[in-house]
Structure 1
């Protein structure tokens, strides 16, 4: 009986490995990214970075692409009017794919 269990476990491991290696990655329907940045007294946006990313099942490569795009979008936001004090902001961005 133990011989059959060991054979079954080995077969399941081989099947699982094959499926992981040969399946195409399916991208999620949506991704949520929180981007933090500082608005300087001059109105300029600085220190843009990813605060959090919610993307279940995403590959590292995909998360990196989404992160780069989110940072690019925030950096391109036009400068605001001058303000009295520096402010740290965190904004959510949702991508629907």
Structure 2
């Protein structure tokens, strides 16, 4: 249900989910798993979820403490063919947001 609320939700619902996860002290790793991003991080359809997760990681970092390196390490563990896939992903995110 959490994944559904986050995936199809408006920005306000995503904020509610972020707040709930922060209050429950859900780590970015746990939220990454909940959103099923591990196998889908490079797929266009999951781009809004990835952006939301990156925002959550930042909120978690500001509140609890989580380094940018830890965030990148989570992404790098996701299946990918080349490390440059993530460079291209970040470039596309920068262009669209």
**TM-score tier after normalising by the smaller chain length:** under 0.3
Larger relative helix fraction: 2
Higher relative contact order, chain-length normalized (CA < 8 Å, sep 6+): 1
Please, what TM-score do these two structures have when normalized by structure 2?
Answer: 0.27
Please, what TM-score do these two structures have when normalized by structure 1?
Answer: 0.27
Larger relative strand fraction: 1
